[in-house]
Amino acid sequence: MDYLEGLNPPQREAVVNMEGPMMIIAGAGSGKTRVLTYKIAHLIANGIEPFNILSLTFTNKASREMKERIVDVVGDEAKNLWMGTFHSVFAKILRFEADKLGYQSNFTIYDSEDAKSVIKGVVKDYKLDDKLYKPNVVLSRISSAKNNLISWRSYEANNDMRLEDEAQGRPKIFEIYKEYAIRCFRANAMDFDDLLFNTNVLFHQHLDVLNKYQHKFKFVMIDEFQDTNISQYYITRKLAAKNRNICVVGDDAQSIYAFRGANIQNILNFEKDYPELKVIKLEQNYRSTQTIVEAANSVIKHNKNQLEKSTFTQNGIGDRIEVIRSGSDLDEAKAVAQSIQTAIMRDRINPQDIAILYRTNSQSRALEEALVKLSIKAQIFGGLSFYQRKEIKDMIAYLKFVTNPKDEEAFKRVINYPKRGIGPTTVNNLFVKAAENKLGIWDVVSNIRRFFGGRIATQVENFANMIKVFQMQTEQKNAFEVASFIAKGSGILRELYEDKSPEGKNRYDNLQELLNGIQGFADDPSKEDKKLGTYLEEISLITSSEKEDMSDAITLMTIHMSKGLEFDYCYIVGMEENLFPSQMMLETREDLEEERRLFYVAITRAKIKVFLTYALQRYRFGKQISCEPSRFIDEIAPQYISMKRNSISDDLGPGNTPGFSNYRSLRQAPSNFIKKAVKPKDDRPFVPSKAEDLSVGHIVRHMKFGDGKVVKISEEGLDKRADISFEEVGKKTLILTFAKLMIIED
Ligand SMILES: Nc1ncnc2c1ncn2[C@@H]1O[C@H](COP(=O)(O)OP(=O)(O)OP(=O)(O)O)[C@@H](O)[C@H]1O
Ligand SMILES: [Mg+2]
């Protein structure tokens, strides 16, 4: 069996030990995903049916790639594997079992925009302060409740949640949660978190169903195990309870979703849950050069919380990590584009093997523009950018509403678009009528004469008839035929066609592009079910907007999305304090450690070369601000770094020391241009003190500025301020509501 030859001894041991619980916690690039892939192939080669194997990955792209490789080894039968992200696999199961939970199997999956829109509605109807109960804040509380398996029924009694809400001045979240859940249910819709939450409910309440899937999934495999949350962990624990054939692989140093409830604790629990656990260590990195492996190790060493493990590589030493500084964010983007051009032309790197990684999505725009100017094709991976565009959302709303007329969010989008004289007041009246009669919106709309007369009734009736015609189409025709019919019949296509402005043309093109995509779906011979509902299912879970002709494009993505992937060259951009590490993540040691793990993930994506870039000035929050290089650059052991100045930038701004040739001399620049990360003197955990406890004379600690003495406290309007004289950075005035300070000496 030649696939076993491509494995080192511990990898092979992991693959051939087919049964029983197994855990592999090992560094980046050590072959964890490869082991999972070959293990699945090995199971199939040994007679296990592919449909008895469940394999959970972090992105759909990852699972597609795994499947392709397995097909290469064992042939086409591998196509029957159950493989995908947690969300896609359990959405599929929930559709089969929807009736057990009182849903219909054609339920809609709300993305976060839909969810926020529902929340906005609830906040408005409950007459709550919408500045306080911002949709994304509320949604994130609801999400964290669901991911910790706290239902709306138990939320109110849950002290942790309630006390935190009260502390944040938002005591009514539990009421919003309840109403939100009711509205989603009434609309036959689930949000992303519901997909996991409801699976847990399903397995908890219906033992026969659980039993069926326990029997079905004789083997369970999980990649990126460090980022599973409690909800996901319970699902897999239940599924594996019978056969106990569960194999998980991951790397605690790459845990980067703590903010979304991912829980490193799962790794620790796993050992308790399976005392017979087989643990396998992988220590050799096959992905990256020695320089990259060592540099990454030198960074992650700064984290206290990590499991003991070591990594080495037998790959070549390779080039140093190149640090490029620029005068501004625009120049940074230009420098990156130029460097990429060189990489492609001179170093003969395939564009597909080049990635630009950034901390926040909004950084992509300048880069995209600079790349276009040099005619370098780029695709954004993981962004929903295309599907977030208004015309696309409108069209999809039609498709969704036709498939599931209970979907209120879709209804709101389509009822008066294109304009058909049904204004917000009428729409509101329709909803009121629905609520009064405890009916769904479609029940009212499709029987409008029972509730309204006159002009309203005629217009709404026309709309309802149109939808009914569309619905009839869905029964006989494939997704593309129905979608084209709807695009024309609804008037959307004409509406966009008639807008001859450049933006209008662009929107028209986008809509055409969407239809192209649907046609591709309908023409795909490997798809058995070409119905509209199945198409919607696929795109609701899309994590990548790759298109066919993108084979010679480089990839842009957030670091979060890059997990598990690998590229020859990686450009990590925006290496600046307050951007990376992110401003929001500087409050506690835990947060900073999570940022550092994110940096570790970024570096370890590269096989051949890493570039780190930063700008001295950046346009943020609507104005030009000065930036300092990220402390993470400083944390890489110096022998792995070389410093380049971006030749595009003439004006390097304040602190410029002309003529330096490497990073070391930059570090010794006479100004405070690079500030060393201020290290606290002792190792107490950082727990911010209350602002009102602070008084003159206290010695306090700040996560970024280090230790200092409070010299003055003043009040200006509602803001209490403190002047603090810091040992390392001098005097600063801080607003106490924002600054987190810990009193270390009275
Ligand atoms: N024994 C081996 N021989 C040759 N190449 C290997 C071997 N093991 C792994 N590789 C290669 O090394 C690279 C990294 O492997 P893989 O992606 O499985 O690592 P990983 O541990 O999953 O990394 P990450 O933590 O980033 O997800 C891949 O290109 C893989 O094909
Ligand atoms: Mg992997």
Residue 57 CA to ligand 2 center (angstroms) comes to 9
CATH code for 321-380+547-643? 3.40.50.300
Measuring from atom 9 of ligand 1, which residue has the nearest CA?
31
Segment 449-456 shows an average pLDDT of 90
Mean pLDDT (the chain, rounded): 86
- Output the pLDDT for position 361: 72
Instruction: Pick 270 or 735 by higher pLDDT.
Output: 270
Measuring from atom 11 of ligand 1, which residue has the nearest CA?
286
Segment 620-628 shows an average pLDDT of 74
Q: At what angle do helices 532-540 and 86-97 cross, to 10 degrees?
A: 140
Segment 271-284 shows an average pLDDT of 93
What Rg do the C-alpha atoms of the chain give, in angstroms? 28
| Range with the poorest average pLDDT among 84-98, 327-341, 481-495, 581-595 | 581-595
Pocket lining: 10 vs ligand 1, CB cutoff 6 Å: no
The percentage of the chain sitting over the pLDDT mark of 90, rounded to a whole number, equals: 58
Pocket lining: 122 vs ligand 1, CB cutoff 6 Å: no
**Measured between alpha carbons, how far is 402 from 396 in angstroms, rounded to an integer?**
10
| Range with the poorest average pLDDT among 278-292, 449-463, 619-633 | 619-633
Tokens 């584009």 -> residue: 337
The answer to whether 649 touches 331, Cβ cutoff 8 Å, is yes
Q: Record the tokens describing residue 197, joined without a space.
A: 């939450």
The answer to whether 149 touches 230, Cβ cutoff 8 Å, is yes
Atom of ligand 1 nearest to the CA of 37: 18
- Could you tell me whether strands 641-645 and 567-572 are parallel, antiparallel, or unpaired per DSSP bridges? unpaired
**Measured between alpha carbons, how far is 263 from 639 in angstroms, rounded to an integer?**
34
Pocket lining: 4 vs ligand 1, CB cutoff 6 Å: no
Residue 33 labelled as part of a binding site? yes
- Residue 372 region by backbone torsions, left for phi larger than 0, else alpha for psi between -120 and 50, else beta: alpha
- Output the pLDDT for position 426: 92
Query: Which H/E stretch holds residue 435?
Result: helix 424-436
Q: Record the tokens describing residue 98, joined without a space.
A: 């929807």
Which positions ≥6 away from 717 have C-beta within 8 Å? none
Q: Record the tokens describing residue 293, joined without a space.
A: 């492996």
Domains 9-84+205-282 and 321-380+547-643 share a fold: yes
- Output the pLDDT for position 306: 77
Q: Which CATH architecture has domain 108-187?
A: Orthogonal Bundle (1.10)
- In this structure, what DSSP letter does residue 170 have? -
Look up the ipTM and state it. 0.99
| Range with the poorest average pLDDT among 464-473, 474-483, 685-694, 696-705 | 685-694
The percentage of the chain sitting over the pLDDT mark of 70, rounded to a whole number, equals: 89
pLDDT at 262 over 80: no
pLDDT at 221 over 50: yes
Pocket lining: 31 vs ligand 1, CB cutoff 6 Å: yes
Segment 692-715 shows an average pLDDT of 85
Measuring from atom 6 of ligand 1, which residue has the nearest CA?
286
Pinpoint the alpha helices (H) of 686-728. none
Segment 377-406 shows an average pLDDT of 82
Residue 30 labelled as part of a binding site? yes
| Range with the poorest average pLDDT among 297-306, 513-522, 610-619 | 513-522
Pocket lining: 29 vs ligand 1, CB cutoff 6 Å: yes
Q: Per-residue confidence at 261, pLDDT binned at 50, 70, 90?
A: low
- Output the pLDDT for position 437: 93
Identify which of 257-266, 289-298, 655-664 has the greatest average pLDDT: 289-298
The 10 Å Cβ neighbour count of residue 673 is 18
Catalytic annotation, pick one of 199, 214, 254, 473 = 254
pLDDT at 508 over 90: no
pLDDT at 140 over 70: yes
pLDDT at 488 over 80: yes
Tokens 């998980």 -> residue: 248
Measuring from atom 16 of ligand 1, which residue has the nearest CA?
31
Q: Record the tokens describing residue 509, joined without a space.
A: 């093109």
**Helix and strand numbers, DSSP H then E, in the chain:** 29, 23
Q: Record the tokens describing residue 258, joined without a space.
A: 């703590």
For residue 21, say if its preceding peptide bond is cis, omega within 30 degrees of 0.
Answer: no
Atom of ligand 1 nearest to the CA of 251: 25
Q: Record the tokens describing residue 74, joined without a space.
A: 């064992």
Which positions ≥6 away from 67 have C-beta within 8 Å? 78, 79, 81, 83
Instruction: Pick 382 or 705 by higher pLDDT.
Output: 705
Q: Per-residue confidence at 364, pLDDT binned at 50, 70, 90?
A: confident
**Measured between alpha carbons, how far is 405 from 445 in angstroms, rounded to an integer?**
10
Measuring from atom 15 of ligand 1, which residue has the nearest CA?
31
pLDDT at 665 over 70: no
Residue 35 CA to ligand 1 center (angstroms) comes to 8
Pocket lining: 250 vs ligand 1, CB cutoff 6 Å: no
Instruction: Pick 173 or 740 by higher pLDDT.
Output: 173
pLDDT at 260 over 70: no
The 10 Å Cβ neighbour count of residue 668 is 9
**Measured between alpha carbons, how far is 710 from 501 in angstroms, rounded to an integer?**
59
Write out the DSSP string of 324-389. EEEEEHHHHHHHHHHHHHHHHHTS---GGGEEEEESSGGGHHHHHHHHHHTT--EEESS--HHHHS
pLDDT tens digits for range 147-158: 999 999 999 888
Establish how many alpha carbons lie within 13 A of residue 672's alpha carbon, considering only the half-sphere containing its beta carbon. 9
Domain limits, the chain: 9-84+205-282, 108-187, 321-380+547-643, 388-539, 673-745
Segment 66-94 shows an average pLDDT of 92
Q: Per-residue confidence at 621, pLDDT binned at 50, 70, 90?
A: low
- Output the pLDDT for position 378: 87
Residue 547 CA to ligand 1 center (angstroms) comes to 26
Pinpoint the alpha helices (H) of 126-262. 135-147, 152-155, 159-167, 173-186, 192-205, 207-216, 230-240
- Output the pLDDT for position 689: 82
Residue 39 CA to ligand 1 center (angstroms) comes to 14
Segment 333-358 shows an average pLDDT of 95
Q: Per-residue confidence at 373, pLDDT binned at 50, 70, 90?
A: confident
**Measured between alpha carbons, how far is 154 from 157 in angstroms, rounded to an integer?**
5
Q: Which CATH architecture has domain 388-539?
A: Orthogonal Bundle (1.10)
- In this structure, what DSSP letter does residue 415 have? T
Residues near ion ligand 2 (CB < 5 Å) are 32-33, 564
- Output the pLDDT for position 618: 84
pLDDT tens digits for range 524-571: 787 788 899 999 887 776 533 444 467 789 999 989 989 999 999 999
The answer to whether 228 is a known catalytic residue is no
CATH pick for 673-745 out of 2.30.30, 1.10.472, 2.40.160, 2.60.120:
2.30.30
Segment 1-5 shows an average pLDDT of 82
Residue 31 labelled as part of a binding site? yes
Sequence letter at residue 655 = G
- Output the pLDDT for position 434: 93
Segment 441-449 shows an average pLDDT of 95
pLDDT at 680 over 80: no
- Output the pLDDT for position 127: 94
- In this structure, what DSSP letter does residue 588 have? S
pLDDT at 656 over 50: no
Residue 670 CA to ligand 2 center (angstroms) comes to 43
Q: Is the dihedral of CA 722, 726, 731, 735 positive or negative?
A: negative
The 10 Å Cβ neighbour count of residue 506 is 14
Tokens 């969010």 -> residue: 409
Segment 604-612 shows an average pLDDT of 97
- Output the pLDDT for position 681: 53
Residue 598 CA to ligand 2 center (angstroms) comes to 15
Pinpoint the alpha helices (H) of 6-151. 9-16, 32-45, 60-74, 86-97, 112-125, 135-147
Sequence letter at residue 332 = E
The answer to whether 223 is a known catalytic residue is yes
- Output the pLDDT for position 741: 84
Atom of ligand 1 nearest to the CA of 8: 1
Nearest ligand to residue 563 Cα: 1
Q: Per-residue confidence at 388, pLDDT binned at 50, 70, 90?
A: low
CATH code for 9-84+205-282? 3.40.50.300
Pocket lining: 6 vs ligand 1, CB cutoff 6 Å: yes
Instruction: Pick 197 or 583 by higher pLDDT.
Output: 197
